[in-house]
Structure 1
Amino acid sequence: MTKTTIPATFTEPKQPAAEPRTITYPLKTGGTITVTCPGWCTADHTSDVATGLVEPGDLSHDGDVVALEYQQEGRDHSVLQARLVQWPFATDDSRPYVELVPEGSTGLGIALTSAVEVDNEIRKVQAHLRLLMDLSDKLAEAQAADHAADHRGDLTPWASLTRTDLASLPLPYLIRVFGITVVETEDIGRKAVLALYGEPGAMELRVLPDVPQVLRESQTRRALIDWHTARGGAA
């Protein structure tokens, strides 16, 4: 069984279905049982074959694990582990289901027996992600306010800003700190959608008039980061 980690803003490509495996297992009570794994089963049944099954009900099919992983103090942790599972000889319900383990270290799983139940859990995660996005915006605003308070009256407030600050603090705040005047013009002097001129306190940002707002903001950050890097600024 393998584990698939899904990084942010990345969609895991669908893998081609594996060829079904037909495996014969010895039974400890005598005899054997031959079972064909479904195409999604990636479990390594080597130990099952080597030691044998007490009864057919001990056999499970397990798919690849998907999980959100992170590191803390050099150790790997995971949340939202999920995989397809099936106990083909279960007496109560032998259908495939999704096993969801919200917090990996506990090993405690929830059996989601239908796509409707899986979708409900997805909606919970999506709601949580929206709250995290809001929290990210609040963090940027809080850090900008903290920077402004620490540099009130400072004639060079931009000097303490790091590359990370330029990538994350609210853009209106950065424009104010650097003393940037935005000018829309067809002549920006470079082969680009915008160009930054001058030095902090009296900078001019020349922008092509028809540049979409999202592109304008991303390229303004890029111009500030390039200015910062060219002067050997801190990360």
Structure 2
Amino acid sequence: MPRTATVHTADHGPVTLTCPPWCRTDHTQQDGNHRADLVHEGADVPFVYAGHRLLTAALRAWPFDETAARRPVLAVDLSDGWHTCESPAQVRDLANKLLAHCGVLWSLADELAAVQDGTNRSM
């Protein structure tokens, strides 16, 4: 049975959400938001190199947003500032880890495709 959550929005009162199977959001933390800002969030999948988070990817969906597609998307956060590689070996190490992480991104692309075409009951 799908998980549901009721959120008390600032503009539409109580709104009941039916969460897709991949949603990890604690919707009680969204009380007081506008309905369009309610979001389903999948698990964060970070890429960390030398202790620095270089990117994080996760499924996201805003089921009531009028300006964005309501179907799930893959959100990618590319923030952690600059990281320096001080030797060719460090550059190669970074490149190898990026290549390995590409496999993770391909898996997320497959999950997104399944969610968007309904084989994973996205919304």
Aligned to 1:95: 71
Distance 1:68 1:27 in 2: 34
- Structure-2 residue corresponding to 1:132: 95
Inter-CA distance 23–132: structure 2 relative to 1 (3 Å threshold): closer
Given that residues 47 and 56 in structure 2 are in contact (C-alpha distance below 8 angstroms), is that contact kept between their aligned partners in structure 1?
yes
SS in 2 for 1:32: strand
3-state SS in 1 of match to 2:21: coil
Provide the alpha-carbon RMSD of the alignment. Answer: 2.8
Aligned to 1:86: 61
More helix as a share of residues: 1
| 1:27 Cα deviation after fit | 2.3
Alpha-carbon distance in 2 for matches of 1:89, 1:30: 11
Where structure 1 has 5 or more consecutive residues not aligned to the other structure, the ranges are: 1-18, 107-127, 134-235
User: Which one has more relative contact order, counting CA pairs under 8 Å at least 6 apart?
Assistant: 2
1:23 to 1:97, Cα distance in 2 relative to 1, 3 A:
same
Aligned residues: 86
Residues of 2 paired with 1:98 and 1:66: CA distance?
11
Structure 2: runs of 5+ lacking an equivalent: 82-90, 97-123
1:91-139 CA-to-partner distances (Å, cap 9, x unmatched) read: 131110001123x326xxxxxxxxxxxxxxxxxxxxx98x935xxxxxx
Alignment-derived partner of residue 40 in structure 2: 61
Give aligned-pair identity as a percent. Answer: 37
Name the CA distance, whole Å, in 2 between partners of 1:59 and 1:89.
7
- Specify which of 5, 23, 28 is matched with residue 46 of structure 1: 28
Describe how 1:1-235 pairs up with structure 2 within 5 A.
Answer: 20-29=2-11, 31-49=13-31, 52-53=32-33, 55-71=34-50, 76-92=51-67, 93-102=69-78, 104-105=79-80, 132=95
Please state whether the residue corresponding to 1:132 is helix, strand or coil: helix
* Bigger Rg, which one: 1
Runs of 4+, deviation exceeding 4 Å: none
